[in-house]
Amino acid sequence: MVLSVKNMTVSYGSKKAVDNISFTLKKGNVIGLLGANGAGKSSTIAAVLGVQKSKFEELSILGKSPIRNRKEVFEQVGVQFQETNFQDKITVKEACEQWQSLYKKTGDLSQLIQTFGLEGKENQLVKSLSGGERQRLAVLLALLPNPKLVFLDELTTGLDTKARRILWQHLQNMKKNGLSIVLTSHYMDEVDALCDEIIILRDGVTVFKGTVSAALESSKKTSLEEAYLYYSGEEDKW
Amino acid sequence: MSTFTTFLKIEGKLVWKGMDIFIFGICFPILLSLLFGYLLNNDASMGFSTFDLSYAAVVTIGILATGVMGLPLTIADYRHRGILKRFQVTPVSPLTILFAQGVIQLIAAIISFIGVTLVYQLVFDYTLSGSWPLFLLIFAYVTLAMYSIGIFIGSLVKDQKSANLWSSVAYFTMLLFSGATIPYEVMPRFVQWGMDILPLSHGIHLLKQTSVGEPMSDGFIHFGVLTLCILIGLGGATKFFKWK
């Protein structure tokens, strides 16, 4: 198992943001966390990474605790947070070089820059990039250490259709080479294209866990979008 | 390149692109030393003049501005904007980040020290009566103590606002009430008692004694206070460092 989480609960004061979530992830598999805004997707990711305090029976990434073995674990794990902030006056090249220096081994930077369509932008300030370019840079940095597992929180939010397709293609290739992915997304076409398994969260509670086809079957809906709306309780309410 | 040298290079560039370090860390102390040269009494017929004594105090302003102000503000800014949170999910140790930021600020403090010394010596014919190696050694120790305070503040404050508050409190009280700008000797006795609490007062006291070549007869207490700052500051920072 690349990732294993058992009965994890995240509370903010008396409010439970994530209630007893459990899941595992195999090598080369992709799991998608779905749910409305505030359903607990990002809190789950933060808790799994050990960035957010949580209660759990088991939490292991690549067989180790991300809290106690932080250094070893994150040598092989990439993370793209929902919001990626950079130092005020840093350039694209500097941001990449700095990230590269954090790891013992990394992938080919110039290759990644090309894949993510950032060539020619190396000397630009990160803050002068467009939203989509900045998002692509954030995903690039997550993939830079050649990770075995990567967390992508809303990976294509802000990207145009073409960029999304290219990114999916790239992730699918990496998946074939054994990369495991945990992602959150609001786009069901993306989930359909990438995920082997999905978890639908509603107010922190896991309301569905299984494959995309199982979601269709058990909800008796014809599209993933409808099945998602059915489970997430977003069907009629605004 | 190692993580540390890369951080030094890139973060150094970023810090210097902001002008604060240049204005407060370097220009301000040098301007003040010019001002002191013209304003303070340089009559050394009665032992040492107030100007002579001011040297040991003015050289600490660069340490204050970089260590107690620049250092914690940069770290708090990175925490506030979620940059430290991104580093938390990488193999980098918080000590590497703190240490690199410390060295960057220290370089400015050293430039400031050299600038102030040149103004004192070349413009106003100042000579250090005590031993230079001893003076530099004490200066290094005072620097370590002040940076420990700065690292402590930077590691613990929860946001930019409280970083501003606490580093300003530490900076301005020590700038005004430890003898760095207004000489300790001219303060009324009851203010001096208050000043005795501030760590930098003890540092400046030691620096003054060594600069004029007096023996450090009461050195024990002054070293004790500085050592306490280092132990609490660095110990607290490693134990309670907050990524977000």
Backbone angles phi, psi at B164, to 5 degrees: -55, -45
**Alpha helices, DSSP H, located in chain A:** 41-49, 70-74, 92-101, 109-115, 131-143, 161-176, 188-194, 212-219, 224-232
Residue A201 DSSP SS3: strand
* Distance of residue B164 Cα from the nearest chain A Cα, in angstroms: 18
Mean pLDDT of the residues in chain A: 93
Burial A13-45 (b: 16+ CB within 10 A, else e): eeebbbbebebebeebbbbbbbbbeebbbbbbb
- Residue B152, C-beta contacts closer than 8 angstroms, at least 6 positions apart: B232, B233, B234, B236, B237
Residue A221: Cβ within 10 Å count: 16
Binding-face residues of A in 146-165 toward B, CB within 8 A: none
| pLDDT per residue as tens digits for the range A49-69 | 999 999 999 999 999 999 999
Q: Describe the strand order of the beta sheet including A197-202 as a list of residue ranges.
A: A58-61, A3-12, A15-25, A205-210, A197-202, A30-35, A180-184, A149-153, A77-80
Averaged pLDDT, groups of 10, chain B, 244 residues long: 92 89 92 89 73 91 94 92 93 90 95 96 90 95 96 89 92 90 85 90 93 85 94 92 85
A188, A223 in Cβ contact below 8 A? yes
Please identify which residue in the block is written with the tokens 């690549």. Answer: A62
Q: Which amino acid would we find at residue B23?
A: I
pLDDT value of position A237: 61
Contact B78 A83 (CB under 8 A): no
Closest residue in chain A to residue B91, using alpha carbons only: A71
Q: Tell which residue, B145, B139, B138, has the closest CA to residue B170.
A: B145
Biggest alpha carbon distance in chain A?
52
The answer to whether residue A1 neighbours chain B at the CB level (below 8 Å) is: no
- Given a cut of 80, whether residue A234 has pLDDT beyond it is no
The answer to whether residue A89 neighbours chain B at the CB level (below 8 Å) is: yes
| pLDDT per residue as tens digits for the range B106-143 | 999 999 999 999 999 999 989 898 999 999 999 999 99
pLDDT value of position A173: 93
Closest residue in chain A to residue B244, using alpha carbons only: A51
pLDDT value of position B132: 94
The answer to whether residue B213 neighbours chain A at the CB level (below 8 Å) is: no
A:B CB pairs within 8 Å: 64
B238, B99 in Cβ contact below 8 A? no
A41, A33 in Cβ contact below 8 A? yes
- Count, in order, helices (H) and strands (E) of chain A: 9, 9
Sorting pLDDT into bands at 50, 70 and 90, what band is A185?
very high
Sorting pLDDT into bands at 50, 70 and 90, what band is A235?
low
pLDDT value of position B27: 93
Domain boundaries of chain B, sorted by first residue: 3-240
Residue A176: Cβ within 10 Å count: 9
- Residue B192, C-beta contacts closer than 8 angstroms, at least 6 positions apart: B184
A149, A181 in Cβ contact below 8 A? yes
* Measured CA distances, B101 to A90, B48, B62, B94, B105 (Å): 15, 38, 15, 11, 6
pLDDT value of position B45: 65
| pLDDT per residue as tens digits for the range A89-138 | 999 999 999 999 999 999 999 999 998 999 999 999 999 999 889 999 99
Q: Tell which residue, A194, A93, A107, has the closest CA to residue A142.
A: A107
The answer to whether residue A79 neighbours chain B at the CB level (below 8 Å) is: yes
Residue B34 DSSP SS3: helix
ipTM of the shown complex: 0.92
Contact A51 B93 (CB under 8 A): no
Closest residue in chain A to residue B77, using alpha carbons only: A87
CB-nearest to A84 from B3, B7, B86 is B86
Tell me the average pLDDT across A65-81: 95
* Distance of residue A233 Cα from the nearest chain B Cα, in angstroms: 32
- Count, in order, helices (H) and strands (E) of chain B: 13, 0
Percentage of chain A with pLDDT > 90? 79
The answer to whether residue A143 neighbours chain B at the CB level (below 8 Å) is: no
Q: Tell which residue, B33, B240, B70, B238, has the closest CA to residue B146.
A: B70
Contact A87 B11 (CB under 8 A): yes
Relative orientation angle of helices B71-80 and B94-118, to the nearest 10 degrees = 150
The answer to whether residue A75 neighbours chain B at the CB level (below 8 Å) is: yes
The answer to whether residue B19 neighbours chain A at the CB level (below 8 Å) is: no
pLDDT value of position B159: 83
Burial B193-221 (b: 16+ CB within 10 A, else e): eebeebbbbbbbbbbbbbbbeeeeeeeee
The answer to whether residue B83 neighbours chain A at the CB level (below 8 Å) is: yes
| pLDDT per residue as tens digits for the range A136-173 | 999 999 999 999 999 999 988 888 888 899 899 999 99
Q: d(Cα B53, Cα B209) in Å, to the nearest integer?
A: 9
